[in-house]
Structure 1
Amino acid sequence: MTSVLRHRYGLALGAGALSVALLSGGTAGAFAATVTPSPTTSPTTSPTTGMASITLTAKPTSVKAGQSVLFTGRTKGLKVGSPLVLQQLSNGKWVPVSASGKVKSGSSYAITAKLSKKGTHTLRVGSATKSGKVYSPTVTVTVT
């Protein structure tokens, strides 16, 4: 008989605890519903490789028309041998420049390009991965 009473008391205690949890959870839920989340931005990430990134440096940043510029940098989250493409901003669109490279061991790369059109050129390096496209920050090269 004591076993039956213990069982009934246990059920009653469990039901009471569940009722309290549900009531307090409803109050917390109502309070949480009034909080407005702030907008956030997140970079492109790959579920398998983590966040991929590319750095970019141009040397020199000022050349005469037809001279070569060396673009170097490092990558993170890209496999060795991954293709990289140099792109230039032209009339609001990114177009490939006839210069490309690949990720070397140590995650570095080097791309040489001859710039012949006079003016200020905005350039970046990009790579297409399975999870999306990755681009470096831009650099500016002045051609005189």
Structure 2
Amino acid sequence: MTSVLRHHRYGRALGTGAITVALLTGGTAAAFAAPTPTPSPTPTGTATTTPSPMRTRTAPTPTRTERPRVNRTETPRPTRTVTRGSITVSTREATVRRGRAVAFTGRVRDVRAGTTLVLQRRVNGRWSTLRTTALVNRNGTFTIRRTFTARGTETVRVVTRDGRVQSAAITVRVS
């Protein structure tokens, strides 16, 4: 308890408050040794306590929350997710006529040159792989050309053939 009063902020405040109260109420050690209140009988039969004139109310001392113990034999969890690479893709045409080719160009990072990239499109909430492919150039760029025959909105993305690295989705309107 002495170390709590000496080293913690709440303990210091509690100790300072107790000393201040003792000095203001009489300054003797008898202020701390006041007798405990005794219950007195009441007409209804319930017991009540009569407070001592020397006793003061103090705030409850906060309790320390204990940290969970860590088992040192466990393997540590990684603190961040490691990405294996990234693909960025864009197109000049937001809208294209039916039957015309759309060029999807982009850049890869942490993907080897010569890696095969595949174009996927979203159909009924699922990604469907198309037969359109391209290879990553030595400088990390690629171009994929695709001709859309159906009218509507096409949502596509570029993925490595093994599916580990993929780009964000891009939307093209076919009219």
TM-score (normalised: structure 1): 0.64
> What whole-Å deviation, never above 9, does each CA across 1:88-129 have from its counterpart, x for those lacking one?
001111112231101001100000000111000100000145
Q: Percent identity?
A: 32
Aligned partners of 2:103, 2:80: CA distance in 1, in Å?
31
Aligned partners of 1:43, 1:137: CA distance in 2, in Å?
18
Aligned partners of 1:43, 1:119: CA distance in 2, in Å?
37
Which position in structure 2 is the counterpart of 1:68? Answer: 101
Residue 105 of structure 1 pairs with residue 138 of structure 2: yes
Amino acid corresponding to residue 59 of structure 1 in structure 2: R
State the Cα distance separating 1:142 from its structure 2 match: 0.1
Give the number of equivalent residue pairs.
102
Residue 53 of structure 1 pairs with residue 74 of structure 2: no
Amino acid corresponding to residue 99 of structure 2 in structure 1: G
TM-score (normalised: structure 2): 0.53
If each structure's helix is expressed as a fraction of its own residues, which one has the higher value? 1
Residue 32 of structure 1 pairs with residue 63 of structure 2: no
1:128–1:100 CA distance, 2 compared to 1 (3 A):
closer
Aligned partners of 2:117, 2:165: CA distance in 1, in Å?
10
Aligned partners of 1:109, 1:126: CA distance in 2, in Å?
12
1:78–1:126 CA distance, 2 compared to 1 (3 A):
same
- 2:114 partner SS: coil
State the Cα distance separating 1:44 from its structure 2 match: 5.6
RMSD: 2.2
If each structure's strand is expressed as a fraction of its own residues, which one has the higher value? 1
1:43–1:90 CA distance, 2 compared to 1 (3 A):
farther
Which of the numbers 110, 121, 134 marks the counterpart of 2:154?
Answer: 121
Residue 79 of structure 1 pairs with residue 146 of structure 2: no
Aligned partners of 1:143, 1:116: CA distance in 2, in Å?
8
State the Cα distance separating 1:42 from its structure 2 match: 5.9
Aligned partners of 1:73, 1:80: CA distance in 2, in Å?
13
RCO higher in structure (CA 8 A, sep ≥6): 1
Amino acid corresponding to residue 68 of structure 2 in structure 1: A
State the Cα distance separating 1:53 from its structure 2 match: 0.4
Aligned partners of 1:143, 1:44: CA distance in 2, in Å?
37
Which position in structure 1 is the counterpart of 2:125? Answer: 92
Amino acid corresponding to residue 101 of structure 1 in structure 2: A
Q: Once structures 1 and 2 are overlaid, which stretch shifts more, 58-67 or 75-84?
A: 58-67
1:120–1:42 CA distance, 2 compared to 1 (3 A):
farther
Unaligned runs of 5+ in 1: 1-29, 35-40, 46-50
Unaligned runs of 5+ in 2: 1-64, 70-78
